[in-house]
Amino acid sequence: MKRRSFVSQAATGLSGLAALAAIPVAGHDLGAAPAAPRPSDRDYWLSTVLRIVDPMLAAAAQGRLKATMPVEAAPGQQNGRRQVTHLEALGRTLAGLAPWLELPDATPAELARQTRYAELARQAIAHGVNPQSPDFLNFNQGGQPVVDAAFLAHALLRAPTQLWGKLPAATQAQLVQALQSTRVIKPVYSNWLLFSGIIEAALLKFTGSGDLMRMDYAIKEHQTWYKGDGTYGDGPDFHWDYYNSYVIQPMLLDVVGTLVAAGKERPELLETLRARARRYAAVQERLIGPDGSFAAFGRSLAYRCGAFQHLAQCSLQGLLPDDLGPGQVRSALTAVIRRTIEPKGTFDAQGWLQIGLCGHQPGIGEGYISTGSLYLCTTAFLPLGLAPNHAFWSSPAQDWTARRIWSGQDVKLDHAL
C-alpha cells in the first residue's frame, strides 16, 4: 500500500539555493520569485514532523519495527547497531513528539491526528516493553540502551498523561521494569551521566521511587563542568559540538525540575540552571544563519535540526531571553527545519530518514549513528506543545539575528552572562 505523504512533493524537494529562496523574510525582499500561499508555520511544522514519525510509529504500533525499519550505519557497524537502533527510534521519536501529544484541548484541525498518534505511541511502547512481542526492545545489553531509554524517559516526563497515564497497568509495570533494568549499565563519565539521571527522574515521578544518588551525581558533576557563559563541558573538557542542546541542558533542566517538584532539590539551583539556559538559547539563536544553515562542527550532525532542541525547549518552557521575540525564534527554527529536512535524500523511498545533515550524506555519520539515531531531529518540534494561540505561533514572523545583521539592519549588542 502506498503510504500517504504529509507534505507535498514540491515542499520536500527543496534544497540548496531553492530552500534559501523559499524562506520567508520579515520585511525584506531578497528577490525570491512569487510563490503560492504557504501554510501557516504551525501547519508546516506539524505536517513535517508527522511525515518524519509516521513510518516508525505505524510499524512499531503493529509490533513490526524490527521487521520493517531499514538499518543504515557506518561500514562494519550495521550488525552491532541492529541490537540497539530500534529503541533509538522509539525513544527519540517520542522525545520530540511528546509535548504535542500532551497538548490539552487540541483544535478540531489537530485533534484527530493527535488522538491517532498518541494511540500509536502507546501501542509502540507496549510492544517495546513486552517480552512476548517480536518488537521487545533491548534495554540492558551493551552500553547504548541507557542512552535511548533516557530519551524514552524524557518523553514520559514531557507527556505524563498520554504516554504514561493512559497505558494499561500491565504495560506500566513492564515499562518500569525495562527502565530499572538499565541500572546494570555504567554510564560514560560525560553527558551520559544525565541518561541515568533522567531515567531515575521518570521513575521517581511515576513510581515515587528513583535513585537519588544517580540523579545527584549527574547534577553535581555537571556543575563542576560548567565553563561559563551558559555552556557546559561534556565531561571535564569543552567540546565544540551541539551536545549542550542534544542532551546536556534539556535533560539537566528536567531532571532538576522533577526533583524540585518532588521536594527533593533546591529551587534556587533550578533558577541558576534556567539563567544559564536563557544565555545558551540566545547563543543558539545567533548560530542560525540567514538561510537556516548553521556551523557544521562537532559530533552527531546527522541529528539535523535536533541540534536546536535547547532553543525549542526554552520556547516550550517559557525560558527565552526577554529580547528574543517568539515570532523571531519561530522564524529561525522554521528556517532550520526547512534547511535540514527538505533537501532531496533526507528520506528513502519508504519515508524513513537517511543519514545526513543536508540530504543523504552517509559519510557524516559516526560509528554510533544508525537509522534510529536520526529521529532525534524531532526534538526541534517541541513548541508544537504550545497552543496555536500562544504567542510563539500567533506573533508575526520576524527576522532572526543573522537575518538582521546580514541584511544591514541595526541589532542590539550581545553580552556574556
Could you tell me the sign of the dihedral formed by the alpha carbons of 159, 223, 380, 375, in that order?
negative
- Alpha-carbon radius of gyration of the chain: 20
Q: What is the pLDDT of residues 38-54, one digit of tens each?
A: 789 999 999 999 999 99
Q: Taking Cα atoms as reference points, which of 141, 51, 153, 135 lies closest to residue 98?
A: 153
Which DSSP symbol is given to 304? Answer: G
pLDDT at position 10, please? 33
Task: Provide the 3-class DSSP secondary structure of residue 156.
Answer: helix
The CA-atom distances, in angstroms, between 149 and each of 94, 155, 269, 371 are: 11, 10, 26, 16
Quote the cell numbers at residue 65. 519495527
- How far apart are alpha carbons 78 and 124 in whole angstroms? 23
Tell me if the pTM is above 0.75.
Answer: yes
Q: Are 150 and 199 in contact (CB under 8 A)?
A: yes
Quote the cell numbers at residue 74. 557506518
Q: Per-block average pLDDT, block size 10, for the chain (417 residues)?
A: 38 37 42 65 98 98 98 96 98 98 95 98 98 98 98 98 98 98 98 98 98 98 98 96 98 98 98 98 98 97 98 98 96 98 98 98 97 98 98 98 97 94
Does residue 416 lie in a domain region? no
pLDDT at position 30, please? 41
Does residue 210 lie in a domain region? yes
- How far apart are alpha carbons 207 and 19 in whole angstroms? 47
Q: Taking Cα atoms as reference points, which of 161, 171, 198 lies closest to residue 182?
A: 198
Does residue 3 lie in a domain region? no
Which DSSP symbol is given to 370? Answer: B
The CA-atom distances, in angstroms, between 279 and each of 26, 31, 294 are: 24, 34, 18
Distance of CA 142 to the CA centre of its chain: 24
pLDDT at position 36, please? 64
CATH number of the domain encompassing residue 184: 1.50.10
Does residue 145 lie in a domain region? yes
Per the structure, the count of domains in the chain is 1
Does residue 412 lie in a domain region? no
Does residue 413 lie in a domain region? no
Q: Taking Cα atoms as reference points, which of 77, 69, 185 lies closest to residue 134?
A: 69
Domain housing 251: 9-27+38-406
- How far apart are alpha carbons 78 and 67 in whole angstroms? 15
Q: Strand 231-232 and strand 226-228: pairing?
A: antiparallel
Does residue 225 lie in a domain region? yes
Does residue 265 lie in a domain region? yes
